[in-house]
Amino acid sequence: MRNPSLPRSIVNNFFQERFLATNPHTEVEKLRELCVSKWSFIRARVAKHPNLELSDLKKLARSPELKIRVAVASHPRADVRILKHLTGDRSILVRRAVALNSQTPQECLEILSRDRNVYVRANVAKNPCTPLEILLLLSQDKDSRIVKNIAFNPAIPQELRSQLQLEIPQREPEHIYLWRRLFSGPYEYNGIPIKELWSQEQYDLAASAITPIPQLLELIKITPNDIYWEAVHNICQQVICNPDISSELLLEILDIRSIDIYAAVASHPHISDAVCNRIVNNEFRDYRLSLLMLQNSNISLDFIEKLLSHRKSEVRQFALKKHQQIFADNDIKNIFLTQYNAATCEQTPLEKLTQLSKHKSVLIREAVAKNPRIIKAYSFCTKIRTCLERLAKDKNQSVRIAVANNINTPIHILEILAKSYQYEPGVHTRYQRHHNRKEHKVFVIAVKKLMQIAPEIASKYLVQYIEPNCHTLDSIPFRLAILQNFPVPIEYLAKKIKTLHLFPWYERYLIVQNPQASTEILQMFLKDVNRVVRAAAKARLTETQ
């Protein structure tokens, strides 16, 4: 749902079906249609619906999907035939649901009381409809989970129940941590104990599509986690399906610490500037929420202009596209678009381009850096030379990348980019996704351009890229091209002779084939663990002799 590239029609269709599956007033004919929904989640939801007819339950009971069979096994309208069939199910979860169903016949409960899985037997002990003789047999089981469920089963005589309750240790009540659920929730290390135990009534209230959002907001403050998440998903569903929710209520909903809630609100038609600002300034820092808001036709022009200076390039470009669409059929001139068009036009005077290169907007500075005219004037105009060097050292990475990507960027500027943003040992690790490391995209682009137009200059920067600790999956093709097509300086290989074994075998093979590899290096690779590398080293030594 938070994916901006996913069509909103698919999201809306899913939640419309979810709304019908969780609405207690949905007609039987519509429920029957939802039983064959293309989404398994919807089919599992329908299997829990109280209005579902017995014939539909029988069909769903033979479903190959586990969630659907579990829902049927716990359904209050499941008859004896269905429950007998599901008693022999291979899944523990299905048998547990049958053991807890109040409609399960005695013969099935007897079978389940001897089940090999302790959780199935514990649910038989928990079922208030389990006959006393079965409970007495289960009470001989020494497992604490079974004894505890028997101790609180109302079918047990009061004397025996009191005796069993004394034997089991008192369990700490479950705690709620409001600061994990709500942005406004106070931080408490120990949490708030839940006063009431989990109840089916609360769960049904949290799952029902007709429960008002204000009531759900109160419910998430006092219920266990499973009911809390059910209420959150219900709020999400109502935000998507109900276009009449006010912007004030949307602001209240944004107090919930859930990115799915934020994604749902970002697409709502009653979105206001206050709601937009709350979404952009949230703790999630997910730029996809901004993309979702830009897809919303009800977003204001002021906020679109604000997103033109967003930290992510994707959001800025999307906002620019939307901004251009708004003014395309409008005679009103926009100052920003006028300046942006001037920055992209090849006929713009150099003096104007120099002024625009100092503009506060990243998009305009980026457009100036891409303009071919500013590069052509580099050799004969001192102001343009200073301007381009300033853009090459711009604080924003997108501007520096635009300079590096310009087809006419001179070698001197590419060297500035390569020197300033080259790899440093230890900055990139093999497991980059576990570290918040800055990506040196500028260096890579600049060096690739140097490889095309000045390979002799590029070679002195390439050794930084082939450090073993800079090895990542996306860099493999570039590294192989470097080792195969560019002579690695002999000083580098001599300095790194003790760490050459850290390279993968195919890179060690290319090092052996490198004309700069010394006899000492080749002799070292004669003892390599890989036979291909050993054979290549032996062949090279034979050639040199």
The one-letter amino acid at 398? S
Q: For residue 309, give both structure tokens.
A: 């200076």
Identify whether 61 is part of a domain.
Answer: yes
Q: Domain tally for the chain?
A: 2
pLDDT > 70 fraction of the chain, expressed in percent and rounded? 88
Tens-place pLDDT, residues 250-305: 999 999 999 999 999 999 999 999 999 999 988 888 899 999 999 999 999 999 99
Q: For residue 125, give both structure tokens.
A: 């002990």
Identify whether 41 is part of a domain.
Answer: yes
Identify whether 403 is part of a domain.
Answer: no
Identify whether 458 is part of a domain.
Answer: no
Single out the residue in 164, 191, 216 at which a domain terminates.
164
Single out the residue in 114, 137, 164 at which a domain terminates.
164
Per the CB < 8 A criterion, the answer to whether 62 and 86 are in contact is no
Tens-place pLDDT, residues 296-326: 999 999 999 999 999 999 999 999 999 999 8
DSSP string for 325-388:
HHHHT--S--HHHHHHHHHH-TTS-HHHHHHHTT-S-HHHHHHHHH-HHHHHTTTT-HHHHHHH
Identify whether 282 is part of a domain.
Answer: no
pLDDT (average), residues 355-359? 92
- CB-based contacts of 360-365 (< 8 A; 24+ apart in sequence): 360/309, 361/308, 361/309, 361/336, 362/309, 362/316, 362/396, 362/398, 362/399, 363/308, 363/316, 363/317, 363/320, 364/336, 364/339, 364/340, 365/391, 365/394, 365/396, 365/399
Identify whether 98 is part of a domain.
Answer: yes
Single out the residue in 164, 189, 206 at which a domain terminates.
164
pLDDT (average), residues 325-338? 84
Q: Count CB neighbours of 139 within 10 A.
A: 18
Identify whether 39 is part of a domain.
Answer: yes
Per the CB < 8 A criterion, the answer to whether 17 and 34 are in contact is yes
Q: Is the pLDDT of residue 475 over 50?
A: yes
List Cα–Cα distances, 289 to 221, 300, 393, in angstroms. Answer: 25, 16, 30
> Residue 233: which pLDDT band, with cuts at 50, 70 and 90?
very high
Burial class (CB in 10 A: 0-12, 13-18, 19+), 244: exposed
> Residue 474: which pLDDT band, with cuts at 50, 70 and 90?
very low
Q: What are the respective helix, strand and coil percentages of the chain, to the nearest 5? A: 60, 0, 35
What pLDDT does residue 512 have?
Answer: 86
> Residue 129: which pLDDT band, with cuts at 50, 70 and 90?
very high
pLDDT (average), residues 226-243? 92
**Element at 92 (helix H, strand E):** helix 92-100
Give Cα 252 distance to the centre of its chain: 24
**Element at 175 (helix H, strand E):** strand 175-176
pLDDT: is 481 or 205 the higher one?
205
Identify whether 515 is part of a domain.
Answer: yes
CATH number of the domain where residue 77 is located: 1.25.10.10
Residue 508: name the closest of 490, 541, 483 by CA: 483
Tens-place pLDDT, residues 386-415: 898 899 989 898 999 999 988 888 888 898
Domain of 138 in residue numbering reads as 8-164
Give Cα 96 distance to the centre of its chain: 33
